[in-house]
Amino acid sequence: MTDVAAICGQLLVGGFDGTTLPREMAVELAAGRRAGVILFKRNLEQRDGELAVEPLVALNAAIHSATARWDEPPFVSVDQEGGKVARLRAPVLSLPPMRTVAAKGDIGLTERLGAELGRQLAALGFNLDFAPVMDVDSNPANPIIGDRAFGSDPRTVMRHGVAFVRGLQSAGVLACAKHYPGHGDTAVDSHLELPVVDASASRLAEIELPPFRAASGAGVASMMTAHVVVRGLDPDVPATFSRRICTELLRGEIGFEGVLFSDDLEMGAIAKHGTIEDAAVRSVAAGCDVLLVCSDLDAQARAFDALVREASGSPAFLERCREAAGRSARIRAMAPPRVESDPARLRAILGSLSARELERKVAAGPS
């Protein structure tokens, strides 16, 4: 594989169907044409209403094995926020929506919940959780954020979001602040269509951006873009494709040094308005470091090929890809994924008294 292909492969994280690692994905991982994987409920077996732990451990071990010859570990990721966005069921720590967590008014509890979840995810072989949501729930008509956010006040979101980040990362799991620069003030689901935020730059600086500034200052390992047009920042371009938002603001003004993920490029907000090839190139050119293509293996291949073609013909784009690959490798080296291979120890981690006590405490209602 050429140097260009090796670089571009580190800019893609993909999903797949089934509860075992498909041969095609294993080949791409082994060849370095993917930076890692993201798992969903479709990848997990359920038994008697609970997560079947053994098949998940075997799947993650297979992912680790496929990438064993890499210099850097892979991303092994999942969306485990709590509430309605929780891919892993019991015996993994059961978290309510983050709004409920924040309503307890206990920053220490929020951090302990993040740390306990991080310990469990790490034992299962994950090293990246696409959480927490750092959006401010400022629009009651929003169909996609709602109680996933810590609240409608930026200070609440900042304080509890940073606490959750610290908890997760203290346990060796990379956190991801999403959906930058803010998806809270929308009335359209970006899974389906492209939302527009009409807020002014001054309102964005007061409401939407402070949680992301706080997360950056607290050392969050990664952020994820919103597929949203933000008129007050870049009037015509979705944030995922906006150099003004992804580079000038995030890197130059906020000072974020971690990895910027795109949200899934197969979502309607992007897929209905162009090809996956165009989306991949535009996202990286704007400043995204790693692209999510969460379902379609063929779409992942086409995105990879498009990145290689563009990088092969453009020295400036190749340099942008090198920068992105460097950031990707740096944070993966911070949290190499390891499955807890001893079944008894794994059961003890998932069934710990501290986890059950935290579940009881957070379910008890507001303080």
User: Which three-class secondary structure state does DSSP give residue 22?
Assistant: coil
Q: Summarize pLDDT for 324-360 with one digit per residue, the tens.
A: 999 999 999 999 999 999 999 999 999 999 999 999 9
Q: What's residue 366's pLDDT?
A: 54
In this predicted structure, the answer to whether residue 139 has a pLDDT above a threshold of 90 is no
DSSP string, 224-280: EE---EETTT-TTSBGGG-HIIIIIIIIIII---SEEEPPPTTSHHHHTTS-HHHHH
Predicted confidence band of residue 365 (pLDDT cuts 50, 70, 90) = low
* Residues labelled as active-site residues: 191, 263
Q: At what angle do helices 107-123 and 154-170 cross, to 10 degrees?
A: 40
Q: What's residue 72's pLDDT?
A: 87
User: Average pLDDT for residues 194-209, to the nearest whole number?
Assistant: 89
Residue 104 identity: K
154/194: higher pLDDT = 154
Q: Summarize pLDDT for 70-126 with one digit per residue, the tens.
A: 888 999 999 999 999 999 999 999 999 999 999 999 999 999 999 999 999 999 999
Q: What's residue 1's pLDDT?
A: 44
Instruction: Give the separation between CA 253 and CA 87, rounded to whole angstroms.
Output: 34
Residue 75 identity: F
Q: Summarize pLDDT for 44-53 with one digit per residue, the tens.
A: 999 988 999 9
Closest CA to 60 of 302, 343, 340: 340
Predicted confidence band of residue 189 (pLDDT cuts 50, 70, 90) = low
Q: Please report how many Cα atoms fall inside a 13 Å half-sphere around the Cα of residue 48, on the Cβ side.
A: 2
CB 40 within 8 A of CB 15: yes
Q: What's residue 188's pLDDT?
A: 62
In this predicted structure, the answer to whether residue 60 has a pLDDT above a threshold of 60 is yes
Tokens of 261: 């993920």
Q: What's residue 187's pLDDT?
A: 65
Q: Computed over its alpha carbons, how large is the radius of gyration of the chain?
A: 19
Strands 80-82, 46-47: pairing kind: unpaired
pTM score over 0.85: yes
User: Average pLDDT for residues 147-165, to the nearest whole number?
Assistant: 97
Quick one: what percent of the chain has pLDDT higher than 70? 97
Q: What's residue 184's pLDDT?
A: 79
Quick one: what percent of the chain has pLDDT higher than 90? 86
Q: Please report how many Cα atoms fall inside a 13 Å half-sphere around the Cα of residue 347, on the Cβ side.
A: 4
Mean pLDDT taken over the chain:
94
Q: What's residue 142's pLDDT?
A: 75
In this predicted structure, the answer to whether residue 247 has a pLDDT above a threshold of 50 is yes
Instruction: Give the separation between CA 135 and CA 180, rounded to whole angstroms.
Output: 8
CB 276 within 8 A of CB 200: no
Instruction: Give the separation between CA 197 and CA 209, rounded to whole angstroms.
Output: 13
CB 123 within 8 A of CB 173: no
CB 174 within 8 A of CB 220: no
Instruction: Give the separation between CA 333 and CA 62, rounded to whole angstroms.
Output: 19
User: Average pLDDT for residues 4-25, to the nearest whole number?
Assistant: 97
Within 8 A by CB and 6+ apart from 48, the residues are: none
Q: Summarize pLDDT for 309-322 with one digit per residue, the tens.
A: 999 999 999 999 99
CATH (residue range 14-362): 3.20.20.300
Closest CA to 177 of 141, 211, 143, 139: 211
SS (H, E, C) 275-289: CHHHHHHHHHHHCCC
Residue 47 main-chain phi, psi, to 5 deg: -135, 120
